[in-house]
Amino acid sequence: MYDVFQTDRLIDLWLTEDIGYCDLTAQLMIEAHETGAFYMNAREPLIVAGIDVAARVFRRYDSTLDVVVRVKDGDKVDPGTVLLDVRGNARSVLTAERTALNIVQRLSGIANLTAQYVAAIAGTRARLIDTRKTTPGLRMLEKHAVTCGGGLNHRLGLDTGVMIKDNHIAVCGGIAKAVQRARRQLPVLTKLEVECDRLEQVSEALEAGVDVIMLDNMSVAEMTRAVEMVGGHVQIEASGGINLTTIGAIAKTGVDYISTSKINQAAVCVDIGLDDAE
Protein backbone atom coordinates (compact mmCIF):
# COMPACT_ATOMS: atom_id res chain seq x y z
CA MET A 1 0.00 0.00 0.00
CA TYR A 2 1.23 3.49 -0.79
CA ASP A 3 0.13 7.00 0.05
CA VAL A 4 -1.67 8.85 -2.77
CA PHE A 5 -0.52 12.27 -1.59
CA GLN A 6 3.13 11.21 -1.55
CA THR A 7 2.70 9.48 -4.92
CA ASP A 8 1.35 12.66 -6.51
CA ARG A 9 4.43 14.54 -5.32
CA LEU A 10 6.62 11.90 -6.95
CA ILE A 11 4.65 12.04 -10.18
CA ASP A 12 5.14 15.81 -10.33
CA LEU A 13 8.90 15.27 -10.03
CA TRP A 14 8.90 12.55 -12.70
CA LEU A 15 6.92 14.64 -15.16
CA THR A 16 9.07 17.71 -14.54
CA GLU A 17 12.22 15.65 -15.12
CA ASP A 18 10.98 14.20 -18.40
CA ILE A 19 9.13 17.15 -19.90
CA GLY A 20 11.22 20.14 -18.91
CA TYR A 21 9.50 23.23 -20.34
CA CYS A 22 7.42 21.37 -22.92
CA ASP A 23 7.16 18.25 -25.07
CA LEU A 24 8.70 19.85 -28.14
CA THR A 25 7.83 16.96 -30.48
CA ALA A 26 4.16 16.90 -29.49
CA GLN A 27 3.89 20.69 -29.68
CA LEU A 28 5.33 20.78 -33.19
CA MET A 29 3.56 17.78 -34.70
CA ILE A 30 0.15 17.51 -33.04
CA GLU A 31 -2.56 20.14 -33.17
CA ALA A 32 -3.87 21.30 -29.80
CA HIS A 33 -7.41 20.04 -30.53
CA GLU A 34 -6.48 16.57 -31.81
CA THR A 35 -7.60 13.56 -29.80
CA GLY A 36 -6.56 9.93 -29.69
CA ALA A 37 -7.29 6.55 -28.14
CA PHE A 38 -4.49 4.32 -26.87
CA TYR A 39 -4.08 1.14 -24.87
CA MET A 40 -1.26 -0.02 -22.59
CA ASN A 41 -0.51 -3.68 -23.16
CA ALA A 42 1.74 -6.41 -21.81
CA ARG A 43 4.32 -7.64 -24.31
CA GLU A 44 5.49 -10.54 -22.14
CA PRO A 45 4.05 -12.64 -19.28
CA LEU A 46 4.15 -10.54 -16.12
CA ILE A 47 2.71 -9.79 -12.71
CA VAL A 48 1.11 -6.36 -12.67
CA ALA A 49 2.36 -3.79 -10.17
CA GLY A 50 1.86 -0.04 -10.27
CA ILE A 51 -0.93 0.09 -12.83
CA ASP A 52 -2.95 2.57 -10.74
CA VAL A 53 0.16 4.75 -10.43
CA ALA A 54 0.56 4.69 -14.22
CA ALA A 55 -3.08 5.71 -14.61
CA ARG A 56 -2.55 8.47 -12.09
CA VAL A 57 0.36 9.83 -14.15
CA PHE A 58 -1.96 10.45 -17.09
CA ARG A 59 -4.66 12.01 -14.91
CA ARG A 60 -2.14 14.12 -13.03
CA TYR A 61 -0.80 15.61 -16.24
CA ASP A 62 -4.24 16.17 -17.77
CA SER A 63 -7.36 15.66 -15.66
CA THR A 64 -9.54 15.63 -18.79
CA LEU A 65 -8.07 12.33 -20.00
CA ASP A 66 -10.34 9.30 -19.75
CA VAL A 67 -8.29 6.48 -18.23
CA VAL A 68 -9.79 3.03 -17.63
CA VAL A 69 -7.71 0.43 -15.77
CA ARG A 70 -8.42 -3.10 -17.01
CA VAL A 71 -6.39 -5.15 -14.48
CA LYS A 72 -5.35 -4.89 -10.86
CA ASP A 73 -2.01 -5.08 -9.11
CA GLY A 74 -0.99 -8.67 -8.41
CA ASP A 75 -2.71 -10.06 -11.53
CA LYS A 76 -0.72 -12.50 -13.65
CA VAL A 77 -1.26 -11.60 -17.30
CA ASP A 78 -0.24 -12.98 -20.69
CA PRO A 79 1.30 -11.09 -23.62
CA GLY A 80 -1.30 -8.96 -25.37
CA THR A 81 -3.34 -8.28 -22.25
CA VAL A 82 -4.66 -4.72 -22.15
CA LEU A 83 -3.69 -3.11 -18.86
CA LEU A 84 -5.41 0.23 -19.34
CA ASP A 85 -7.08 2.43 -21.95
CA VAL A 86 -6.46 6.15 -22.21
CA ARG A 87 -8.43 8.54 -24.43
CA GLY A 88 -8.45 12.27 -24.91
CA ASN A 89 -6.08 15.04 -25.94
CA ALA A 90 -3.38 13.37 -28.05
CA ARG A 91 -0.66 15.80 -26.98
CA SER A 92 -1.30 15.03 -23.32
CA VAL A 93 -1.31 11.26 -23.76
CA LEU A 94 1.95 11.19 -25.72
CA THR A 95 3.65 13.64 -23.37
CA ALA A 96 2.87 11.55 -20.26
CA GLU A 97 3.34 8.18 -21.98
CA ARG A 98 6.97 7.45 -21.07
CA THR A 99 6.61 8.40 -17.42
CA ALA A 100 3.57 6.14 -17.04
CA LEU A 101 5.31 3.24 -18.78
CA ASN A 102 8.54 3.66 -16.83
CA ILE A 103 6.94 3.22 -13.43
CA VAL A 104 4.71 0.26 -14.27
CA GLN A 105 7.56 -1.50 -16.10
CA ARG A 106 9.87 -1.05 -13.11
CA LEU A 107 7.36 -2.13 -10.46
CA SER A 108 6.09 -5.09 -12.47
CA GLY A 109 9.69 -6.20 -12.94
CA ILE A 110 10.10 -6.28 -9.15
CA ALA A 111 6.85 -8.21 -8.75
CA ASN A 112 7.99 -10.73 -11.38
CA LEU A 113 11.32 -11.42 -9.70
CA THR A 114 9.76 -11.55 -6.25
CA ALA A 115 7.36 -14.24 -7.47
CA GLN A 116 10.30 -16.34 -8.67
CA TYR A 117 11.88 -16.19 -5.20
CA VAL A 118 8.58 -17.00 -3.53
CA ALA A 119 8.15 -20.03 -5.80
CA ALA A 120 11.66 -21.22 -4.92
CA ILE A 121 10.74 -21.59 -1.23
CA ALA A 122 7.21 -22.94 -1.68
CA GLY A 123 6.47 -25.83 0.67
CA THR A 124 8.74 -24.55 3.44
CA ARG A 125 7.84 -22.43 6.47
CA ALA A 126 10.06 -19.58 5.28
CA ARG A 127 8.56 -16.32 4.02
CA LEU A 128 10.36 -13.94 1.69
CA ILE A 129 10.87 -10.36 2.89
CA ASP A 130 12.50 -7.33 1.34
CA THR A 131 15.13 -4.89 2.65
CA ARG A 132 15.74 -1.14 2.75
CA LYS A 133 18.03 -1.36 -0.29
CA THR A 134 15.54 0.37 -2.55
CA THR A 135 15.75 3.08 -5.20
CA PRO A 136 15.86 6.46 -3.40
CA GLY A 137 12.45 8.07 -3.60
CA LEU A 138 10.68 4.88 -4.71
CA ARG A 139 10.71 2.85 -1.49
CA MET A 140 6.98 2.70 -0.83
CA LEU A 141 6.20 1.84 -4.43
CA GLU A 142 8.94 -0.79 -4.68
CA LYS A 143 7.83 -2.36 -1.40
CA HIS A 144 4.29 -2.39 -2.74
CA ALA A 145 5.59 -4.22 -5.83
CA VAL A 146 7.18 -6.86 -3.58
CA THR A 147 3.79 -7.60 -2.03
CA CYS A 148 2.27 -7.86 -5.52
CA GLY A 149 4.75 -10.65 -6.20
CA GLY A 150 3.88 -12.50 -2.99
CA GLY A 151 6.63 -11.22 -0.71
CA LEU A 152 6.42 -9.41 2.62
CA ASN A 153 7.84 -6.08 3.74
CA HIS A 154 10.57 -5.74 6.34
CA ARG A 155 11.04 -2.32 7.94
CA LEU A 156 9.54 0.47 5.88
CA GLY A 157 12.12 2.84 7.29
CA LEU A 158 14.43 3.37 10.23
CA ASP A 159 11.50 4.52 12.36
CA THR A 160 9.43 1.33 12.04
CA GLY A 161 11.57 -1.12 13.98
CA VAL A 162 14.81 -1.62 15.91
CA MET A 163 17.58 -3.51 14.15
CA ILE A 164 20.76 -3.86 16.19
CA LYS A 165 23.63 -4.48 13.79
CA ASP A 166 27.36 -5.09 14.22
CA ASN A 167 28.29 -1.42 14.46
CA HIS A 168 25.62 -0.76 17.10
CA ILE A 169 26.92 -3.73 19.07
CA ALA A 170 30.51 -2.46 18.80
CA VAL A 171 29.57 1.01 20.05
CA CYS A 172 27.54 -0.36 22.97
CA GLY A 173 30.12 -2.96 24.01
CA GLY A 174 28.22 -6.16 23.29
CA ILE A 175 24.82 -7.59 22.46
CA ALA A 176 23.52 -7.64 26.04
CA LYS A 177 24.36 -3.98 26.60
CA ALA A 178 22.96 -2.97 23.22
CA VAL A 179 19.66 -4.73 23.89
CA GLN A 180 19.45 -3.25 27.37
CA ARG A 181 19.86 0.27 25.98
CA ALA A 182 17.23 -0.30 23.31
CA ARG A 183 14.71 -1.81 25.74
CA ARG A 184 14.73 1.29 27.96
CA GLN A 185 12.51 3.33 25.66
CA LEU A 186 11.36 0.83 23.05
CA PRO A 187 7.67 1.31 22.14
CA VAL A 188 5.76 -1.63 23.58
CA LEU A 189 4.50 -2.96 20.25
CA THR A 190 7.81 -2.56 18.39
CA LYS A 191 9.98 -5.59 17.74
CA LEU A 192 13.67 -5.68 18.50
CA GLU A 193 15.93 -7.60 16.12
CA VAL A 194 19.62 -8.37 16.47
CA GLU A 195 22.01 -9.27 13.66
CA CYS A 196 24.29 -12.25 14.44
CA ASP A 197 27.10 -13.52 12.27
CA ARG A 198 28.36 -16.20 14.70
CA LEU A 199 26.60 -18.93 16.67
CA GLU A 200 27.96 -17.52 19.95
CA GLN A 201 26.09 -14.33 19.21
CA VAL A 202 22.87 -16.30 18.71
CA SER A 203 23.19 -17.56 22.28
CA GLU A 204 23.87 -14.03 23.51
CA ALA A 205 20.85 -12.66 21.67
CA LEU A 206 18.60 -15.35 23.13
CA GLU A 207 19.78 -14.60 26.65
CA ALA A 208 19.28 -10.88 26.08
CA GLY A 209 15.61 -11.43 25.22
CA VAL A 210 15.33 -10.22 21.62
CA ASP A 211 12.26 -10.73 19.45
CA VAL A 212 13.98 -11.66 16.18
CA ILE A 213 17.45 -12.97 15.39
CA MET A 214 18.98 -12.29 11.99
CA LEU A 215 21.52 -14.84 10.78
CA ASP A 216 23.88 -12.79 8.66
CA ASN A 217 25.92 -14.54 5.98
CA MET A 218 25.97 -17.86 7.81
CA SER A 219 26.43 -21.19 6.08
CA VAL A 220 23.50 -23.59 5.72
CA ALA A 221 25.05 -25.80 8.39
CA GLU A 222 25.35 -22.85 10.79
CA MET A 223 21.77 -21.79 10.10
CA THR A 224 20.53 -25.30 10.79
CA ARG A 225 22.37 -25.30 14.12
CA ALA A 226 21.04 -21.83 14.98
CA VAL A 227 17.45 -22.98 14.37
CA GLU A 228 18.06 -25.90 16.76
CA MET A 229 19.53 -23.57 19.38
CA VAL A 230 16.60 -21.17 19.21
CA GLY A 231 14.03 -23.96 19.40
CA GLY A 232 11.19 -21.76 18.23
CA HIS A 233 11.49 -19.31 21.13
CA VAL A 234 12.06 -16.34 18.81
CA GLN A 235 11.71 -15.79 15.08
CA ILE A 236 14.73 -16.21 12.83
CA GLU A 237 15.60 -14.27 9.70
CA ALA A 238 18.28 -15.41 7.25
CA SER A 239 20.10 -12.75 5.25
CA GLY A 240 23.20 -12.33 3.11
CA GLY A 241 24.22 -14.22 -0.01
CA ILE A 242 20.60 -14.93 -0.96
CA ASN A 243 19.85 -15.65 -4.60
CA LEU A 244 17.68 -18.03 -6.60
CA THR A 245 20.39 -20.69 -6.43
CA THR A 246 20.87 -20.58 -2.65
CA ILE A 247 17.43 -19.70 -1.29
CA GLY A 248 15.92 -23.20 -1.49
CA ALA A 249 18.52 -24.81 0.78
CA ILE A 250 18.33 -21.88 3.20
CA ALA A 251 14.55 -22.19 3.46
CA LYS A 252 14.89 -25.88 4.39
CA THR A 253 16.94 -25.01 7.49
CA GLY A 254 13.73 -24.00 9.24
CA VAL A 255 14.18 -20.22 9.36
CA ASP A 256 11.03 -18.10 9.52
CA TYR A 257 12.05 -15.36 7.11
CA ILE A 258 14.56 -14.88 4.32
CA SER A 259 15.45 -11.32 3.36
CA THR A 260 17.16 -10.26 0.16
CA SER A 261 17.86 -7.03 -1.67
CA LYS A 262 18.02 -8.91 -4.98
CA ILE A 263 14.27 -8.66 -5.58
CA ASN A 264 14.70 -4.88 -5.87
CA GLN A 265 18.25 -4.41 -7.05
CA ALA A 266 18.37 -7.21 -9.62
CA ALA A 267 14.87 -6.79 -11.04
CA VAL A 268 14.64 -6.20 -14.80
CA CYS A 269 11.94 -3.93 -16.17
CA VAL A 270 9.25 -5.81 -18.07
CA ASP A 271 8.15 -5.00 -21.61
CA ILE A 272 4.95 -2.96 -21.71
CA GLY A 273 3.86 -0.72 -24.57
CA LEU A 274 1.36 2.01 -25.38
CA ASP A 275 -0.24 1.57 -28.78
CA ASP A 276 -2.81 3.42 -30.87
CA ALA A 277 -6.19 1.83 -30.40
CA GLU A 278 -7.61 3.06 -33.70
Q: Which amino acids are annotated catalytic?
A: 98, 133, 165, 195, 216
Parallel, antiparallel or unpaired: strands 66-69 and 82-89? antiparallel
Q: Measured between alpha carbons, how far is residue 184 from residues 39, 123, 141, 177, 188 in Å?
A: 56, 39, 34, 11, 10
Q: Which amino acid appears at position 19 of this protein? A: I
Which residues neighbour 49 within 8 Å (Cβ) at sequence distance 6 or greater? 73, 74, 104, 107, 108, 110, 111, 144, 145, 148, 149
188 pairs with which residues across the strands? none
In whole angstroms, what separates CA 42 from the centre of its chain?
A: 20
Q: How far apart are CA 231 and CA 32, in angstroms?
A: 69
Return the amino acid letter for 229.
M
DSSP letter at 213? E
State the pairing for strand pair 212-216/35-42. unpaired
Give me the torsion for CA of 98, 110, 266, 194, rounded to 10°: 130
> Under a CB-based contact definition with an 8 Å cutoff, are residues 223 and 253 in contact?
yes
- Residues paired with residue 127 on neighbouring β-strands, in sequence order: 257
The residues, ordered by sequence, that sit 6+ positions from 116 with a Cβ below 8 Å of its Cβ are 244
- 161 vs 278: CA distance, rounded Å: 52
